[in-house]
Amino acid sequence: MSFDDLGLSTSLLHAVERQGYTEPSPIQEKAIPLILERRDVLASAQTGTGKTAGFTLPILQILSEGHQLRKRPVRALVLTPTRELAAQVSENVKAYGEFLHLRSTVIFGGVNQNPQVKALRNGVDILIATPGRLLDLHNQRLLSLASVEILVLDEADRMLDMGFLRDINKILALMPPRRQNLLFSATFSKEIKQLANGFLHNPVLVEATPENTTVEKIIQKSIRVDKGKKPALIIKLISEGNWKQVLVFTRTKHGANRLSEKMNKSGITASAIHGNKSQGARTKALAGFKKGEVRVLVATDIAARGLDIPLLPHVVNFEMPNVAEDYVHRIGRTGRAGASGEAVSLVSHDEVDLLRGIERLVGQRIPSQTIEGFEPSSNPPPKAAAKPNNQRRHKPKNSGNRDFQKRRKGGFKGRSNR
Ligand code: AMP
């Protein structure tokens, strides 16, 4: 199928061509015609599937065809969990809307509100926002949602993980009940289904697996190594492999900072990106990484969500994620758009359970190897070895799969230290 078959206007087709897209991704193929038919859509799609264009293109089309009011009230609202994702959606809206006369703006917290207020005063057709700042400005009576015709909840699962349910419900109450609703989520927990049932009208379910599913184009490896030797090992892998653009995941913000410092000391340019950094610092780190000035970006899971970094050749799990499903998100960052990528996991003794949980989730064994000079000690470190009957053995509280199950069952309340 080509973009021409989707019912999009020539201005939009022109913009798509300018982006260099030759054919629609599966989610675009499915979602665009449905959204143009004004159906409510419940879409299962994660970053990397082209989901943003999947909802942005038809929204631009609908709004450009509709009657334009002089005051330009907000007619489409896109809610995202993070500032980064909001900024990226906004960039996409601007790029795809290049040849249309629609206005859009993005609002998120952590920065001065005045420029955002000014943009809103001038009138915007499409507003991209994180829930907190949106409510904040609404409470100050600086914006109205009374004319919203189309609502998008992007990465709805992350919004719930980050505790935005109450805010979302408040925002829903501020909009006219008759509107088109689109919900995008990588996973479908009980809470997501409840949320969807609460406000979607007779939705069509569309599903898209990312271009790179874990099973296909990504080469996955795990390297067994003692925890304390991980920094030296990752430095060796990056320098000897001459890796140019590497995304490294740590579990905590402090871990991200420490590792990034160690890398810089050993001559590998690195930046850490996590929730404690200001918006400016994060944007700068990301820009440096994209330009190739910074070789390694060390990120926590939440900070990495929504980062738009195409064609990443290497992803390293410096520490294994507690939630098995985060592994899929992490490694989905490699080799986008059809190219192959490599995902390497550094696994210490205490993380073997997590690795098994991940293997159960992705339904395959991840080949394991050791590196000369970095072979793990044959006995687990004393702490783990001294407690053969510890809780974790009987009750794998931190096992990825278990956490994943827990989240699916609705017990997951978000993680604080990321
Ligand atoms: P998303 O899943 O929306 O975060 O998009 C992931 C990446 O795919 C972005 O860098 C987009 O610019 C790119 N993209 C979106 N649609 C297409 C397409 N049809 N062909 C090629 N790349 C695309």
Instruction: Compute, in degrees rounded to 10, the torsion defined by CA atoms 180, 161, 82, 95.
Output: -40
Q: Which atom of ligand 1 is nearest to the CA of 45?
A: 2
Q: pLDDT at position 120, please?
A: 96
How far apart, in whole angstroms, are the C-alpha atoms of residue 120 and residue 369?
55
How far apart, in whole angstroms, are the C-alpha atoms of residue 393 and residue 386?
12
Which residue reads 């896109």 in tokens?
78
Q: pLDDT at position 351, please?
A: 96
Is there an atom of ligand 1 within 6 Å of 47 CB? Answer: yes
Topology (CATH) of 218-387: Rossmann fold (3.40.50)
Q: pLDDT at position 277, please?
A: 73
Segments of the chain scoring below 50 in pLDDT: 210-215, 336-337, 384-418
Shortest CA distance to 96 belongs to which of 20, 189, 191, 39? 20
Is there an atom of ligand 1 within 6 Å of 25 CB? Answer: yes
Q: pLDDT at position 407, please?
A: 31
- Choose which residue among 17, 19, 154 to substitute to test ligand 1 binding: the one with the highest number of ligand atoms within 8 A of its C-beta: 19
CA neighbours within 13 Å on the CB side: how many for 173? 8
Q: Which atom of ligand 1 is nearest to the CA of 49?
A: 2
Helix (H) or strand (E) holding 342: strand 341-347
pTM for this structure?
A: 0.60
Residues of the chain with CATH 3.40.50.300: 3-207, 218-387
* Structural contact between residues 40 and 204, judged by C-beta atoms closer than 8 angstroms: yes
The class (CATH top level) of 3-207 is alpha beta
Task: Write out the E strands in 157-242.
Answer: 180-185, 204-207, 218-224
Would you say the C-alpha torsion 47, 191, 107, 184 has a positive or negative sign? positive
* Structural contact between residues 5 and 16, judged by C-beta atoms closer than 8 angstroms: no
Beta bridge mates, 334 = 312
Q: pLDDT at position 311, please?
A: 60
